[in-house]
Structure 1
C-alpha cells in the first residue's frame, strides 16, 4: 500500500478551472502520480452488490451504475516497468511485461500525438465483460466513463500543481502487450502526467 497523501494547500475550485490547460512539462516522480491517483481514482467506498448484482464503488469520477470498469495502467518515461493502480488498496501492482518493449511502444505513441515522452502515461483499459454484464450496448457508457475519468484526472492534476494532457488515441495496440486479454479489455484513452509546465 502506498502512503496516503496529505491534502495540498487550499486552492479554490474556480482557480483550478481557470488555470487548467492541457500541457506536457517535465519528468514526474511516481509518488506524485500516486498522489494524483489517490485523489482522482481511489475508491472512497464500496458495496458488494449494486447494478446487476455486481460490486459497486464510489470514487471522485462518476461511472455508470458505479461499476468503474476502467483500470489505470501507469507507464513511467523511464523503462522501470508498467504498473496497475489498485484503487481499493491505493497500491501499484507491477505488471509482468517486457519493460523495455512497453516503454518503446508507449514512447512511439506519445511522440505521434504530443511530440514528447516526458512524464508518466496513464492508460485506461475497460473491462467490457463487467460493463456488458450490467448494460446492453455498454461500449458508449464505457467511453463516457473514460471521459469523466480523464476530466477528473486533469482537474486534480492542476489542483496538485501537475500538468496533464489527454491523449488523442484509444491505444488498443497496447492492451495485449500489457498482459490484458482481448477482446475482454478495450483501450479507452489515456492521460500524460508531467511536472508543472
Structure 2
C-alpha cells in the first residue's frame, strides 16, 4: 500500500483563487447566532442525522458553515498557502470548500480566505437543475438548505503523490465538524449518500482541478423525524 507520510518539501502551495462566474459579495448578518454554552460531551452524544428537515434562516445555515470552515491563521513565507482551522487537513491545505444552495437560485460560496460569502453565477443551468433533482431524489423530505462540498485539487495534488485519499479524509473531517456545529446551534443535519458532481459542472468551466466530495442537508428538525 502506498502512503505519503510527508508532503514534497520542495513544493510550496500556490493558493490560487477559484474562477467563479460573476461573484458578488453577499451581505449575511450572523450576529444573531452563537455556539452557545452546551458542553461538548452533550453535543457529541446528542447529534443525530435527521432525514426530514424544514427550512432554517439562511443566516443560521451560513453560521454553521462559517464556524466549521473559518480560517484562524494564514501562513506566510515558508507556510504560504497553509491555514489553521478547527477541522484537520493534510498539510494544513484545507482544499474542501462549501457552497450553500436553496432551490434553483444562485448559490452562496464561503470564501475562507476573505471570511466572506459570495453569490455565484451559474454557468450551466441544466447541470444545476440536475444537481437539485438528484438531491431531492435521495432525500425527498428535506426542504432545508444543501451544502455542497467541493475539493480544490490544485495544491494538494502537487504536494502529495497519493492525494485522493487525503481529499476524502479532509471531506469527512468537514462533515463531522459541521454536524457538531449544527447540533450546537439547534439545527438538523444529514449527510447525503451522493457527491454532487453536477454542481461542479454547473458552476465551473470543464476542469479536473475540482472534485465533488459530498452534500449535507441542514435545516430545522421536523416534529416527526427519522434519525440515526
- TM-score, length-normalised on structure 1? 0.88
Deviation at 1:100, TM superposition (A): 6.5
Unmatched segments (≥5 aa) in structure 1: none
Describe the shift of the 1:127–1:98 C-alpha distance in structure 2 as closer, same or farther (beyond 3 A). Answer: closer
Q: Write out per-residue CA displacement over residues 153-194 of structure 1, whole angstroms, 9 at most, x where no aligned residue.
A: 011100110011011011223212122542111101121111
Q: 1:163 touches 1:194 (CA, 8 Å); kept in 2? A: yes
Separation in 1 of the partners of 2:55 and 2:199?
22
Describe the shift of the 1:63–1:98 C-alpha distance in structure 2 as closer, same or farther (beyond 3 A). Answer: same
Q: Which has the higher contact order (CA 8 A, sep 6+)?
A: 2
Q: 2:149 touches 2:171 (CA, 8 Å); kept in 1? A: yes
* Equivalent of 1:76 in 92, 102, 114: 102
* Equivalent of 2:137 in 112, 131, 147: 112
Separation in 2 of the partners of 1:172 and 1:64?
23
Taking only aligned residues, the RMSD between alpha carbons, in angstroms, comes to 2.1
Q: 1:81 touches 1:102 (CA, 8 Å); kept in 2? A: no
Higher mean Cα deviation, 87-96 or 17-26?
Answer: 87-96
For the pair shown, the structure with the greater C-alpha radius of gyration is 2
2:83 pairs with 1:57:
yes
Describe the shift of the 1:173–1:80 C-alpha distance in structure 2 as closer, same or farther (beyond 3 A). Answer: closer
Unmatched segments (≥5 aa) in structure 2: 1-26, 223-228
- TM-score, length-normalised on structure 2? 0.77
Q: What is the count of residue pairs matched by the alignment?
A: 194
Q: 1:49 touches 1:56 (CA, 8 Å); kept in 2? A: no
Separation in 1 of the partners of 2:77 and 2:148?
27
Deviation at 1:96, TM superposition (A): 1.2
Separation in 2 of the partners of 1:88 and 1:3?
18
Separation in 1 of the partners of 2:128 and 2:157?
31
Aligned position for 1:37: 65
